[in-house]
Amino acid sequence: MRGDINHLKDDLLRGVGVLQTVNEFKATHPSLDKSRIALLSALFPSQEGIFNADILKQFQKVNRHFNEQRIKENKRQGVCPGKNIDTDQIIPAAHLVYSLEDPEERKLYGKYALSGVPDEESGLPQGNIPLTEEDATESEFDIIIGGPNFGCGSSREHAPACLEIAGVKAIIAPTFARIFYRNSVDGGFLIPYESLNDLSQKVHTHDELEIDPENQVVKNITQDEEYKIRPLGSVADIVEAGGIFAYARKTGMMEAKSG
């Protein structure tokens, strides 16, 4: 992401010409979303909202590429376990013996993520589709589609951690156990999206999905359907920053670590 932004800034800085204010640009480009306007402001803070028109033309070109890449990267395969997935099913107690600090032992959490789910309920509606294949430590699936109260059970952070290690980027469920939700966000492990309906009754394992948080929808490319999700607020920013403490330092709510 940082590389994309630097590349964008380099491209924008090549332009010269007539100056235009952000408000004027927004008025003449109503389709440009707020995040891209904010990105412009972040890239050129010293210009106090005044930008070069040629730079803006270049921005539009790069912005289209940025959007295409975002859509491409958000098209991911979903896996649907059964209902009432608790933390013992996410990572059974027998596999809590590995160190999260040791690189090799850490991989084993990915290997055994969701291994407590009964085989017939793993990868619905077909069943018998595990999150990670035998002898693998990373999954082919990026998104988990869960039922209500996903992540109920203990408060251990190993549950969201093992899913992240397996390669899961997001979970979509109508409701989450609050401790699991906060652990997922505060630890910077993955993004828990709340759906308006129980998508585990609609989405099939291996369906290609695109999450569009800006428009608050999940697009099922395979079935040509869309589902509404709730707004994230600051959740995505916290996860992207690497957790609640990293986010607090980044936003100035906490002093940055010295040294």
Query: Are 176 and 155 spatial neighbours (Cβ–Cβ below 8 Å)?
Result: no
pLDDT, tens only, 29-52: 554 455 555 555 554 444 444 445
DSSP, res 256 = P
DSSP run (H or E) holding 24: helix 22-28
Q: How confident is the model at residue 139 (pLDDT cuts 50, 70, 90)?
A: very high
pLDDT, tens only, 63-121: 444 444 443 344 467 888 877 899 999 999 999 999 999 999 999 999 999 999 999 99
Percent residues over pLDDT 70 in the chain: 68
Residue 154 pLDDT exceeds 70:
yes
pLDDT, tens only, 180-210: 999 999 999 999 999 999 999 899 999 999 9
Tell me what the mean pLDDT of segment 127-143 comes to: 93
DSSP run (H or E) holding 11: helix 2-12
Distance, in Å, from the CA atom of 180 to the CA atom of 239, rounded to the nearest integer, reads 14
Domains of the chain: residue spans and CATH: 2-75 (no CATH), 80-249 (3.20.19.10)
Tell me what the mean pLDDT of segment 13-25 comes to: 44
Q: How do strand 191-194 and strand 208-212 relate by DSSP bridges?
A: unpaired
Distance, in Å, from the CA atom of 225 to the CA atom of 221, rounded to the nearest integer, reads 7
pLDDT at 66: 44
Distance, in Å, from the CA atom of 173 to the CA atom of 150, rounded to the nearest integer, reads 7
pLDDT at 9: 44
